[in-house]
Amino acid sequence: MWISYSQLKLFEQCPKAYKYRYIEKAPPKIKPILIMANSVHAALKDFFLIPDTAQRTKQALEELLRKAWRINPDRKKAFTTTQEEKTWGEKALSMLGNFYNKQDIKANPLAVEELYKAQFDSGIILCGKVDRIDTDQDGSLKIIDYKTGKSPKDGDKFLTSDYQLGMYGILVRKKMFAKIEKIMYIFLEDNTELSVTPTVEYLDGILEKILEMAKTVTREKVYPPNPGSFCRICDYFEQCDSALKAVIPAVAQQEEVPF
């Protein structure tokens, strides 16, 4: 069974939502934030594929964003008005502008948006698409994942519970034999970096956790709902009785009454 970080995270949030998405294959909602995120990732990928670093200008990066945005097949379905699309587009341009001004735009990545997979026990195949891998002069690797959002308020606490970076480290370690010096997030909205130094103990601990989670997913037969705050942003809110029962009464309790 193929297992990705996105699958594990959704199952962790709500097994029923996982069932809708990965068992019943119900398509997720087309949202503005997804158009923005996909376009930003595509622009950064194409930007670092430009071999001549002198041509990696801010204007080039902006045009790559517009190109990715323009050809996105879901673009017209995501926005209700031209102004809404413009607002999201300007937000994306701002992110990339900050990235260009702060980050090393002359980096020569070893890989960009490459899919990695590795088989482990019980037939579980972990997979993940890594945004970027850079190499240092000594041959060691730096794994980078872009996030189109703000950095968490407590970075250390966030990294303590995070396992996405570790999963990428595990997948890259399985394929390459070079030392991994650093695995990091770049939060594009506020241009903040969060990183871990992936020791053998760290990666082995993450692997043990992920495989246990994956086994739980494969054994699940009922997929119970987990109603709560997540329901409000869930792609399957309208078709889930548990979500409607949990959220609508809570909203009603907060409404003002005319006396």
Which backbone phi and psi does 206 adopt, to 5 degrees?
Answer: -65, -40
pLDDT tops 80 at residue 257: no
127-149 average pLDDT score: 95
pLDDT tops 70 at residue 249: no
> How many Cα atoms occupy the beta-carbon half-sphere of 252 within 13 Å?
6
Residue 123's pLDDT is what? 86
| Radius of gyration of the chain, Cα coordinates, nearest whole angstrom | 20
Range name among 21-30, 114-123, 242-251 with the lowest pLDDT average: 242-251
Nearest-CA neighbor of 116 among 105, 127, 124?
127
Residue 242's pLDDT is what? 84
Residue 122's pLDDT is what? 74
Give percent of the chain with pLDDT exceeding 90: 85
pTM: predicted TM-score of the whole model, two decimal places: 0.90
DSSP, collapsed to helix, strand or coil, labels residue 192 as strand
Whole-Å CA distances, 63 to 66, 68, 259: 5, 9, 56
Report the sign of the C-alpha dihedral through residues 23, 24, 25, 27, in that order.
negative
pLDDT tier, 33 (very low <50, low <70, confident <90, very high otherwise): very high
Residue 121's pLDDT is what? 75
Range name among 42-51, 168-177, 241-250 with the lowest pLDDT average: 241-250
List the Cα angle 17/20/22 in 5-degree steps: 100
Tokens encoding 240:
């889930």
Give percent of the chain with pLDDT exceeding 70: 96
Whole-Å CA distances, 117 to 6, 56, 64, 170: 14, 31, 28, 10
Residue with tokens 């029962």: 245
pLDDT tops 60 at residue 142: yes
